[in-house]
Structure 1
Amino acid sequence: MPRLFTGLEIPVDAAFSLSLKRGGLTGARWIDPENYHITLRFIGDVDNGMADEIADNLDYLSQSLRFPVRLTHLGTFGGDKPRALYAGVEPSEALTRLQAAHERMLQRSGMPAEGRKFVPHVTLARLRGTSAADVARFIAEAGRFEPISFPVPRFVLYSSRDSVGGGPYVVEQSYPLPA
């Protein structure tokens, strides 16, 4: 049974820039740069028939036009018990529309609605036993976050193995966006 999600790839040069933030945070399990991505919609474990249906239906969403993405800051999920360090994505109408289209398509395919609000980001590290103060200090010491921009030429259907997270992820199918 494949575990699937849709997302946007991070170009090699942008991933390299993000990888320079790695290190110096106790309890951080750093994500390998080749596994950086922006999740559009987590799908989960599905049977092969549903996986094929989803892959086919995603073709209909590739009518969206290409758009740029801009990473603007470091942030965390988890509040007082941080569980992830991420690079945040600047809000974008095009990105929000594409993600909403994925959500609608997946619900029409019989998947339950995503219960969490869409917060576009690139996970840099999973945190365990890291205090909020340690994370705040790390972000402060990381210095100014120089924004990273890149075009989005396609979205992809990823698979992953059942693990603690952080990859490896495999591109099962890609869906080019017209210029």
Structure 2
Amino acid sequence: MSKSGKESTGSERLFTAIRLPHHLQEQVKVWRDDIKRQLFFRTWTDPRDYHITLQFMGDVDTNTIPSVIEVLKEAAAKSGSFQLRLGGAGTFGRPASPKVLWRGVEGERGKLGLLQKTVADHMLPLGFRPEERPYSPHITIARSYIGSEPVQPLPNIENAGSDASWIATDFVLFATKFGRKPMYEVLQTFPFPYSYP
């Protein structure tokens, strides 16, 4: 039985995120295909799955999902659109065996951080605790380095002009579907009701 007293029908692995627009998925894919010739990772993210995580919730009882959606609607209603831009690249973990290859996020990061906090604050009454470490927005490109040489610092990436920018106008609730491509399925989109000045 779930906390609500209803018989559970299973669970979904959920998280909230801002999706990368299609034109930037393609732009990052070109860069990824080039870097693949230099770095060797076990798993490369499908470009259709590129995103900036807001909050990871883990396995959630399906009976709880309607409540999650209602709370996220409230969070979105307090938020507004903002500009983001692709940043440079880097890795998480030791240079000899980094766990993640990522692309950074620039632009109105303060407003992105405010949205992340708003989502986390709204999810807390449902029992979803935010991570204790500071929020570090990024786009995961690959996981689990399997190369024989330590990864050297990655060169700066020139993101000139508006081609690397976009306006975030919503966020989504994703469900992870292991073994599928793309692996993340949108359960609900939460548009922002207004634009920041």
1:12 positional shift? 0.7
Query: Among the aligned pairs, what percent are the same residue?
Result: 32
Gaps of 5+ in 2: 1-10
1:113 maps to what in 2? 130
2: CA distance, partners of 1:108 / 1:166: 33
After superposition, the Cα gap between the structure-2 partners of 1:14 and 1:73, relative to the gap in structure 1 and judged at 3 Å, is same
List structure 1 segments (4+ residues) > 6 angstroms apart after TM superposition: none
Instruction: State whether residues 82 and 130 of structure 1, in contact with CA within 8 Å, keep that contact through their aligned partners in structure 2.
Output: no
1:32 is matched with which residue: 46, 51, 54? 46
1:48 positional shift? 1.4
Matches within 5 A, 1:95-106: 95-106=112-123
After superposition, the Cα gap between the structure-2 partners of 1:78 and 1:131, relative to the gap in structure 1 and judged at 3 Å, is farther
1:115 positional shift? 2.9
Q: TM-score, normalised by structure 2?
A: 0.80
1:27 positional shift? 2.8
3-state DSSP of counterpart to 2:80: coil
Residue 125 (str. 1) matches residue 142 (str. 2): yes
> What letter is aligned with 2:158?
F
After superposition, the Cα gap between the structure-2 partners of 1:110 and 1:27, relative to the gap in structure 1 and judged at 3 Å, is closer
1:169 maps to what in 2? 184
Gaps of 5+ in 1: none
2:169 maps to what in 1? 153
Task: State which structure, 1 or 2, has the greater radius of gyration over its C-alpha atoms.
Answer: 2
Q: Deviations over 1:113-150 (max 9, x none)?
A: 323321100111112324673x326x23xx63326211
2: CA distance, partners of 1:131 / 1:78: 15
After superposition, the Cα gap between the structure-2 partners of 1:106 and 1:19, relative to the gap in structure 1 and judged at 3 Å, is same
1: CA distance, partners of 2:181 / 2:56: 14
1:68 maps to what in 2? 83
Instruction: State whether residues 171 and 189 of structure 2, in contact with CA within 8 Å, keep that contact through their aligned partners in structure 1.
Output: yes
3-state DSSP of counterpart to 1:118: coil
Give the RMSD, CA atoms, in angstroms: 2.1
2:8 maps to what in 1? none
2: CA distance, partners of 1:17 / 1:49: 38
Residue 88 (str. 1) matches residue 104 (str. 2): yes
Instruction: State whether residues 27 and 129 of structure 1, in contact with CA within 8 Å, keep that contact through their aligned partners in structure 2.
Output: yes
3-state DSSP of counterpart to 2:31: coil
> What letter is aligned with 1:144?
I
After superposition, the Cα gap between the structure-2 partners of 1:108 and 1:61, relative to the gap in structure 1 and judged at 3 Å, is same
2:94 is matched with which residue: 79, 82, 96? 79
2: CA distance, partners of 1:106 / 1:149: 29
3-state DSSP of counterpart to 1:117: coil
